[in-house]
Chains A and B, each alone.
Chain A
Amino acid sequence: MKSHAALAARFLKDPERARWHDEALWFVREKRDRLARAVPGWEELRDTAHAIKRHALANLPMYLEEFEKNAAARGAVVHYAVDAVEHNRIVLDILKARGARLLAKSKSMLTEECGLNEFLEANGVEVVETDLGERIIQFAGERPSHIVLPAIHKKKEEVGEIFHRHLGTAAGESDPTALARAARAHLREKFLAAPAGLSGVNFAVAETGALVICTNEGNADLVTSLPDLHIAVMGVEKLIPRSRDLAVFTRLLARSATGQPVTAYTSHLLGPRPGQEMHIVIVDNGRSDILKSARFHRAAFCLRCAACLNTCPVFRRSGGHTYNYVIPGPIGTILAPHRDLKKYKDMPFASSLCGSCSAVCPVKIDIHRQIVLWRNEIVEAGCLGRVKSAALKTMTAVMRRTRLFAAAGALGRRALRLTPRFLYNNKLTIWGATRDLPEMPAKSFRAQYKAYRRTGKIEGDRM
């Protein structure tokens, strides 16, 4: 498995594409800014959302019980899955019991996290993603590069090529409207044919047992209402106490995610429609462990809005596929190590710690602080790497002794002044490959300061 640094370097080999990717997401970030500024009390809304999440997740057992009771009263069957394996098994069993071999699916990052599609396909169930972006990458045999805009890394010409191969659109056709039309015709067949539909969940309301699904394409509404079997899957953290809490979250969600005032569809499902079976699978898959952690529990507050991806200067310039975990970007960076610290040890280092992620997060997760705390966990687990560890240890040893530091500094500056610049400003050094080192002054600050206090004059180099 290649590190983020290596994969990002490869991504940046095509600077034009990298800038296109950066601009596309920055456009969304700017839309988000404009929309956020139009809402009175935006920052208070974020505080309130944070407080609701903290409260709901601190009282999870109570709200789970309340939700289950109310959802069951409306005719839904509630299942609990402790992990991905159990989640996949429950979904397959429900499908098998009804003999369903075709599943129409709307977008769900949880199923990506659990590897549901691969599991179902291996067990003879055809899975059709009905979100346009998800369908594109399903055709391409890739994983989402972004949690809200899964095919953001594909240009329209590439989508045209994929549709030409899979849907028989005209070769070279890359007009978005024509391609969307072709996808719609194709998906309509699937909607009508599928005996079962599976959806994710944005919010589950404890006091009513309602599921709330926020989408833009209307595909989730077809998936949840057309088939006689609807399976909704959700992480435990989707639970909110009351309907009125939705007023806070729906105001934040679409603005943060895509810079829309609200998603085109905000569907409230209060039990199955007549003649339909509804199953709700509530999944833990490590969330309880996150909630138990003093340093990292707030990561579980995440709404999966992707505002932190859109704003992240590193994500925009490296793309979602350079992060090895299923959820990329800043939020993925603080979720992945919970899954496997060693496997994802490069991710927390794929950040300049600029803090923009924490500042856009609608539920105020301290993302950049958690990133640096994860770096500490990696160091403590002995996973930083020998060269980096040794370099930092040496640096510390020098910095602890002021005289040694001053002497080493003098030596280093002298060496740099005497060495021909091409020897260090070159492709073979990490810094010097792209950047010149500063020209080193003859005297340090401490030396200049002493002389200044003695003589009242500034010596040495001024600009």
Chain B
Amino acid sequence: MKGVRSHADPGSLGRVGLFIPCYIDQAYPRVGMAAVRVLDRLGVRFEYPEDQTCCGQPMFNSGCFRDAAKLARKVLKAFRGFDSVVCPSGSCTGMIRDYYDLLLEEEKDTPDFRRLVTRTYELCEFIIDILGIEEWEGSFPHKVGLHQSCHGLRGLGLGAPSELVVPGRTGKVKRLLESLGGLELVTLSRSDECCGFGGTFSVFEPAVSSFMGLDRLADHERAGAEIIASYDVSCLMHLEGLIRRQKKPMRVMHVAEILDGASA
């Protein structure tokens, strides 16, 4: 497409499946639609198999591996025959890639399973690593704070975790956002601290969870962010809930919404 530098031919990717996690389907369809439009604009031909719901992460994170396995099996079935899967969520992608091997003992060595767990990509990762696009031409003249959600950051490597001593400490998503005209990424005092959502942690430990979230908000606010952006809208749901309750002058956006809005 015009305005986007791509190295790979988006048409030669084989069968690409779109995985829209349950909470995006029900509570944040606008994020799913933004992902659809971003992929459409990149010329990626993909399918959205309808028989999909949840990756099983809430059950897995609560220790209910048997329940999670049932849903993992459903995901495996939904994307059987696909060459790769794209998902606009770092933590759901991480769930599939990092933890399905703990859940599906029997299926573990089948080609379908191996393909699913090695070729499921978070949306930004798909854009950067698979399509080879590192710059997004378009403009988004706002001050943005990037919330680097933990599973995408430390699990998938979408950013450079502050704990690790790794060369070239700019994350992938950060680079993509910085390439947008007018977009100013604010500097946070803690670049990648957890927001406290943590799935069921947010209701099992509500006091700590909320406190962590408020600390993140304060950091973004001090840095002058108008928008908190992330590749995980689950963290954003938690932060948005706190923003609204505290009546803070900030809003949250998924990276897909920013890319979609910028190139429109």
Report which A residues bind B (CB closer than 8 A): 4-5, 8-9, 12, 15, 18-19, 22, 26, 33, 36-37, 39, 42-43, 311, 313-314, 317-318, 348-356, 358-360, 372-380, 384, 388-389, 392-393, 395-396, 399-400, 402, 405, 409, 412-413, 425, 430-431, 433-438, 440-441, 443-449, 452, 458, 460-463
Contacts and interface: CB of A to CB of B under 8 A. Distances in A.
A8 B209 CA distance: 10
Q: How large is the interface on B (under 10, 10 to 19, 20 to 34, 35 or more residues)?
A: 35 or more
Nearest to A398: B53
B87 to A, nearest CB: 12
22 contacts: A12-B207, A350-B205, A353-B199, A359-B154, A377-B63, A379-B62, A388-B62, A395-B67, A396-B56, A396-B70, A405-B53, A425-B245, A434-B241, A435-B245, A438-B237, A444-B26, A445-B24, A448-B29, A448-B32, A449-B33, A462-B30, A462-B33
Given A376-B65, A399-B53, A437 B165 contact: no
Contacts of A373: 102
Given A360-B163, A400-B74, A425-B245, A448 B33 contact: yes
B241 A18 contact: no
B25 interface: yes
If over half of B's interface residues share one DSSP class (helix, strand or loop), that class is named, otherwise mixed; here it is helix
B196 A313 contact: yes
Contact of A375 (B51, B62, B162): B62
Contacts of A458: 33, 37
B203 A430 contact: yes
Given A375-B63, A402-B50, A352 B196 contact: yes
A15 B207 CA distance: 11
A443 B211 contact: no
Nearest to B252: A463
Interface in B222-264: 237-238, 240-242, 244-245, 251, 253, 257, 261
A400 B208 contact: no
B155 interface: yes
Contacts of B202: 431
Given A384-B63, A436-B241, A446-B25, A15 B211 contact: yes
A356 to B, nearest CB: 6
A435 B210 contact: yes
